[in-house]
Structure 1
Amino acid sequence: MTNHITTTWLGNMKFESTNPSGHNVIIDAAPEMGGESSGYRPKALMLSALAGCSGLDVASLMKKMKLLVDDFKIDIEANLTEEHPKHYDAVTMSFHFYGRELNEKKLQKAVDLSVEKYCGVMEMFRHFAKMTIETHFHHNETLK
């Protein structure tokens, strides 16, 4: 299977990128780089792709396992190298589950399956960054 996107310059530092889903993404640079900050920054978009990929896996597994979760979020902190080309060399992904009836064992299994087996973006990240995965369970709390 091949994915095809087209990224078109909109002037200055702004681009619009197609997506196989039919939804487009605006990419722009920070003001200090000559942009207007009116879209996603490319490296941050990679982190969103990582969280989205793994999040979709976990959400699918939660549905299949019939797990009760009120809220779910993924926080990512990534270290960007100082030297050019700047890249992520260490990434910490924190999975946060909120609810009154969290099955920690099964939720951890869902996270592990995504991280170890299903998430292709995670596999790509492993080639250039040290990955740290954390899972946090927030019983009787709401998403903040």
Structure 2
Amino acid sequence: MKTVVNWRGGVHFQADTDSGHTLDMDGAPSIGGENKGARPMEMVLAGLGGCSSIDVMTMLQKSRQDVKDCQVQIEAQRADAVPAIFTKIHMHFVVKGTGLNENHVKRAVQLSADKYCSVSIMLSKGGVEISHTYEIQEA
């Protein structure tokens, strides 16, 4: 896997991914950013949410759950000192569907966290405390 990151001026950078996508990143205005893209640490959280959501939805679909929508709300805390790494991350899954089995949802969230989501496992092995909750809504 490869990604090339190119400077676009100021603290704006553009990443070209191996899969053919382009992502813009920019720093905060306090360091000269112009809001031309997401902050790099926001992209880490987005990657975590995407990775885990793919796992959860794949498992729920395989278990024939009638999912209508899936959202993960992520909140993170960062260290006060430089480097301002993530110290805690909480992921709250909201799964909407018809007649969803709570055991399937719970197991999918746990398996993603403990076994399948590469981003989650990498971050937790790096010392980030990651917690998970879920709720099921009838749709």
Of Structure 1 and Structure 2, the greater strand share is in: 2
What does the per-residue CA deviation read over 1:1-38, in whole Å, with 9 as the maximum and x for residues that have no partner? xx111100011111110112110100101212201011
Greater shift after overlay, 67-76 or 96-105? 96-105
Name the SS of the counterpart of 1:94 in structure 2: strand
Which residue in 2 is equivalent to 1:131? 130
TM-superposed CA distance for 1:67, in Å, is: 0.7
**Partners in 2 of 1:98 and 1:60 — Cα distance?**
15
Name the SS of the counterpart of 2:64 in structure 1: coil
Which residue in 1 is equivalent to 2:73? 75
Query: What is the aligned-residue identity percentage?
Result: 32
Which residue in 2 is equivalent to 1:102? 100
What is the TM-score normalised by the length of structure 2? 0.94
**Partners in 2 of 1:45 and 1:6 — Cα distance?**
15
What is the TM-score normalised by the length of structure 1? 0.91
Aligned residue-pair number: 138
Which residue in 1 is equivalent to 2:13? 15
**Partners in 1 of 2:12 and 2:90 — Cα distance?**
29
What does the per-residue CA deviation read over 1:47-87, in whole Å, with 9 as the maximum and x for residues that have no partner? 00000000111111122111111211001110011111111
Cα RMSD (Å) of the superposition?
1.1
TM-superposed CA distance for 1:113, in Å, is: 1.3
TM-superposed CA distance for 1:128, in Å, is: 2.4
**Partners in 1 of 2:72 and 2:100 — Cα distance?**
16
**Partners in 1 of 2:97 and 2:31 — Cα distance?**
42
TM-superposed CA distance for 1:102, in Å, is: 1.4
